[in-house]
Structure 1
Amino acid sequence: MTDEDVAPQQGELAITRTGDRLRLAREAAGLSLADVATRTRITQRHLAAIEKSDFSELPGRTYVTGFARAYARAVNLPEAEIGAAIRRELEEDEYGSRPLYEAYEPTDPARLPTARLTWTLVIVTLLLASAYGVWRFLSVEPDEALIAAQNRDADASEAPESAASTVPAAKAGGASAGVAENAPVVLTGLSEVWIGFDDAEGKTQNWRTLDPGETYQVPPAYIEQFTLRTSIPQALKVTVGGRDVGPVGPADTLVKNISLKPADLIARAGSTGAPGAATPGRPQG
């Protein structure tokens, strides 16, 4: 037998594994391992292991088959045929005796998200959920059903006006003397209490609920633009510059049109007026 007769037989014997077939197809296409890695998004280390049929370097049976099919597509080989050949080799090598690292049907690993991408998505989702929760808690959009119920109750249970509700000018001036116009107005929940902020037309524009012990410093813009309303006056403590102005209304009675200006609140503290009545400079709604 001549050397020319032996050479083809040696060439045929050299291609005994699917990895050899994939390697030869890659080389025939003029591609490097890096080129195939770019096309398949599979690491060069895993591609090299497939070419050497060293399946122990790969994470599991699912990934061996999926990687091989992706490799076959990259070098224009029939992926179904390559996948079947790889499965046969796995059975021959008794690779299936190892614990399977799979929980799903075999799929193309190139389409699976990386661990870093997965964790990034989880973190972004948690951040968005947290931001939405904070926005809902601080949202100033009024609940229409709650506001409608409060407005209906106002006609039936609003604290009545009385002659004592009007603070004499001299007395009011004395009570508010020395109070800074920008003194902080702080609302504190003695128990869970709902508070609303009404515009000049008496419509509730913003609202929130205070938990027991929770404090809320009224923004300067609210002091100028809005008046206060609440349905549980006994559960709300109002302080101006640290001074307690006393209850803003009788228990379990919806009160509204409570001026938030420091001078008006101090004047209320020095008066015997019924809560909910008009305060200096603020019309009763």
Structure 2
Amino acid sequence: MADEAGIEGTADTVQGALEMDGPGAKLRRAREAKGMSLADVAIATRVAQRQLEAIEREDYAALPGIPYAIGFARAYARAVDLDEVAVASDVRAAVNQSTLGANRYEMFEPADPARVPSRTLAWTAAAIALVVAIGFGVWRAQLLTAPTTQQVSEQQQTAVPASNAAPAGAPPAVAPTTGPVILTAVDDVWLRIYDETGERLKDGLMKKGERYALPDGAKDPMILTGRPQALTVTVGGKTVAPLGPPDRTIADVPISAAALLARQAPPAAATTVAGQAGTSPATAPSPAAAGTTPPASNP
């Protein structure tokens, strides 16, 4: 009986020592029982070996923070077939009793450190997203920005005014050809076509090769676009001059057949030949002016 009581007392002492062991010691004994080294556990959990050593020493201050201490311990426990929930609870209690427990602002725990993306990958993804956002913003701003006063002035200066009257003596002008106005996209281009009342006749993206015929009854139609060079305009099947300079936003540019043909009319002569107007016909010089005397008359 005395021997049995001694054996039971020894077992109780060993069990009590096991229960008093910290989570680091439990993890280390489980690792040794499986014949694994710290390097093996590091490979299985993708946790740095120095951080696993800190967990075994229960030196939680050497870890990045409370969530990582608990997350690394859970991964370690899974690798050596221990109850990860119990180990995490022990680590949490040990951390709260240490100096690291004062840092309470961290509210998350990585469930599996192997699934946490690296810092380099996170920064790379953030940089790519930022570049894409900036590029989209610049493209959108260029597409929808209204033309400035200087741009509108330049567009008006490029239009060639039609002469009100033909110069004196000029042959009668040939009546301009009229016909349907057709816009053809030679590249993808956004545009807006509207009439004098503000009604939008077409608003959106024209794909490359797409054609749009201006309605016959449109009243003073005008166009807004940021890429006039992407449009080919014809009147009665004849191509007219570009609507504006390349990659410059144009607005309120008339595109009726009459307005487009007026842009093609040659400018009137800037000057007239001296003496052509306001002078009388030339007269023959008098004999005196020619330096001769008339012949004397017979008596």
Normalising by structure 2, what TM-score? 0.48
Structure with more of its chain in helix, by fraction: 1
Kindly indicate whether residue 218 of structure 2 is the aligned counterpart of residue 155 of structure 1.
yes
Aligned partner of 1:246 in structure 2 is none
Structure 2 gaps of 5+ residues are: 1-6, 144-187, 194-198, 204-212, 236-241, 270-299
Amino acid in the other structure paired with 1:106:
E
Is contact 1:62-1:101 (8 Å) kept? no
Kindly indicate whether residue 166 of structure 2 is the aligned counterpart of residue 117 of structure 1.
no
Is contact 1:69-1:83 (8 Å) kept? yes
Residue 100 and residue 269 in structure 1: after superposition, are their counterparts in 2 closer, same or farther (change >3 A)?
Answer: farther
The one-character-per-residue Cα deviations of 1:103-142 (angstroms, maximum 9, x if unpaired) are x333326133332222111111122223434555566144
Identity of aligned residues (%): 32
Is contact 2:25-2:56 (8 Å) kept? yes
- 84-93 or 71-80, larger mean C-alpha shift: 84-93
| 2:89 alignment partner, SS class | helix
| 1:47 alignment partner, SS class | helix
What is the distance in 2 between the residues matched to 1:56 and 1:239? 66
Amino acid in the other structure paired with 2:50:
R
The one-character-per-residue Cα deviations of 1:31-83 (angstroms, maximum 9, x if unpaired) are 33233223322221111100111111012222211111111112111001101
Kindly indicate whether residue 189 of structure 2 is the aligned counterpart of residue 140 of structure 1.
yes
Is contact 1:61-1:101 (8 Å) kept? no
What is the distance in 2 between the residues matched to 1:255 and 1:271? 22
Aligned partner of 2:267 in structure 1 is 270
Aligned partner of 2:133 in structure 1 is 129
What is the distance in 2 between the residues matched to 1:74 and 1:60? 21
Is contact 2:24-2:56 (8 Å) kept? yes
Aligned partner of 1:78 in structure 2 is 83
| 1:148 alignment partner, SS class | strand
Amino acid in the other structure paired with 2:254:
L
Residue 143 and residue 63 in structure 1: after superposition, are their counterparts in 2 closer, same or farther (change >3 A)?
Answer: farther
Aligned partner of 1:255 in structure 2 is 255
What is the distance in 1 between the residues matched to 2:245 and 2:109? 67
Is contact 2:228-2:245 (8 Å) kept? no
Aligned partner of 2:46 in structure 1 is 41
What is the distance in 1 between the residues matched to 2:73 and 2:93? 13
Aligned partner of 2:109 in structure 1 is 106
Kindly indicate whether residue 116 of structure 2 is the aligned counterpart of residue 67 of structure 1.
no
Is contact 1:157-1:254 (8 Å) kept? yes
Alignment RMSD:
4.5
* Structure number with bigger Rg: 2
Residue 88 and residue 153 in structure 1: after superposition, are their counterparts in 2 closer, same or farther (change >3 A)?
Answer: farther
What is the distance in 2 between the residues matched to 1:30 and 1:19? 17
Aligned partner of 2:160 in structure 1 is none
Is contact 1:60-1:100 (8 Å) kept? no
What is the distance in 2 between the residues matched to 1:99 and 1:89? 14
1:52 to 48, 57, 80: 57
What is the distance in 1 between the residues matched to 2:255 and 2:202? 15
Give the drift of 1:12: 8.1
- Which structure exhibits the higher relative contact order, with contacts defined as CA atoms closer than 8 Å and separated by 6 or more residues? 1
| 1:83 alignment partner, SS class | helix
Give the drift of 1:143: 5.6
Residue 90 and residue 122 in structure 1: after superposition, are their counterparts in 2 closer, same or farther (change >3 A)?
Answer: same
Give the drift of 1:29: 2.3
Aligned partner of 1:199 in structure 2 is none
Residue 122 and residue 134 in structure 1: after superposition, are their counterparts in 2 closer, same or farther (change >3 A)?
Answer: same
